[in-house]
């Protein structure tokens, strides 16, 4: 979720689920505002972080639809990494859908994410890449 005004020098809301007892201070490096929201037996901590986007050497393209939780999660992760990306909303630009499917080797779900000409895949693939520690390397290339 992005705050109004988020853009090249905007703000991003980052939320994470934490164990309530372990929350002493906001863990985010650049946290300006934090709020603890107890929900059941876990807490959510929300922080407002400045975006200082860097442009990867390889341009990032993400094909999305307007209401798509997987797309939002993927964009949140890229925003947290400070990675600039081009977003193509295929529900607004249906003529780009065929291009996406062709580039994605036949995959038709959104999001489809490309870093340079490398087809990363969908949201799950992006998070898997990050868990393996490969996303930062790819973005820094």
Ligand X SMILES: N[C@@H](CCC(=O)N[C@@H](CS)C(=O)NCC(=O)O)C(=O)O
Using CB under 6 A, list all residues that contact ligand X: 65, 68-70, 109-111, 122-124
Q: What is the rounded CA–CA span in Å between residue 34 and residue 88?
A: 32
Give least dist CB 111 to ligand X, A.
Answer: 6
Q: Which is nearer to ligand X, 65 or 119 (CB)?
A: 65
CB 62 to ligand X: min, Å: 11
Q: What region does 121 belong to: left with phi over 0, alpha with psi -120 to 50, or beta?
A: left
For residue 62, give the nearest of 132, 105, 130, 113 by alpha carbon. 113
Output 44 or 127, the one with its CB closest to ligand X: 127
| Cα–Cα distance, 40 to 100 (Å, whole number) | 41
- By C-beta, is 5 or 69 nearer to ligand X? 69
In the complex, least distance from residue 122 CB atom to ligand X, rounded to whole angstroms? 2
């Amino acid at each position: 979720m992005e705050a109004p005004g988020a853009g090249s020098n905007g703000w991003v809301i980052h939320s994470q689920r934490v164990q309530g007892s372990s929350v002493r201070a906001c863990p985010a490096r650049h946290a300006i505002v934090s709020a603890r929201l107890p929900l059941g037996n876990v807490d959510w901590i929300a922080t407002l972080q400045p975006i200082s986007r860097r442009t990867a050497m390889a341009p990032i393209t993400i094909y999305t639809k307007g209401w798509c939780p997987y797309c939002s999660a993927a964009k949140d992760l890229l925003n947290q990494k400070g990675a600039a990306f081009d977003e193509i909303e295929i529900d607004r630009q249906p003529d780009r859908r065929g291009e996406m499917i062709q580039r994605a080797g036949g995959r038709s779900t959104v999001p489809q994410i490309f870093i340079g000409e490398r087809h990363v895949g969908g949201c799950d693939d992006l998070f898997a890449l990050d868990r393996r520690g490969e996303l930062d390397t790819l973005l820094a290339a």
